[in-house]
Structure 1
């Protein structure tokens, strides 16, 4: 499979790919591409419409220290402002930003699939074929 960001993000959110694979994939990208992936992931998060409770769940479950800058930004600021600030972090923060945003997207998208899309939906990303 040749990974595309949307394919990777949605498969990760649906637990079809291991997160360790995602960390390695993200690390191979140049900083400019990493920043672009963070912006795309922020857009995906906004489309998933996470509630404050889902943001809090993501903060608790993110695979990083609770004091990591992206988690602090999500804790201190409202979601739109936190996403904007996370995207403005310097490149050394990109890996933590990726982990935090991926955690939030995964939780928000899972909630959306359980609630709004539980009886089927037209979201093609919720109906991905299994990996070979």
Structure 2
């Protein structure tokens, strides 16, 4: 984990390793799909993808990591984490979301099972990160 300390109201750009980045380096990494994608799982007709965002702040406006699900061609954000969430935290949350998806939707997801999945996802506790 980084030793990055932010003053109230301060924003920093942070790499997947938790170290501060210059804005230009952060922007270049954001354009690098291989660097940005932390985990990707295809399941039935869905895709679960967790990405690094790399924006740290003390106001919880910036996002370090985000996970989305592609249902029927449409992306929905199902989890996000603010700094100081780590890549390890994001990977663990990705695995938990995939496990919950498989449990809730053992067959092709329907509107009903998608709603049930989202209801159950909201009930999941994510210590150390915010969802």
Q: Provide the TM-score with structure 2 as the length reference.
A: 0.31
**Higher percent of residues as strand:** 2
- More relative contact order in 1 or in 2 (CA 8 Å, sep 6+)? 1
- The structure having more radius of gyration, on CA atoms, is 2
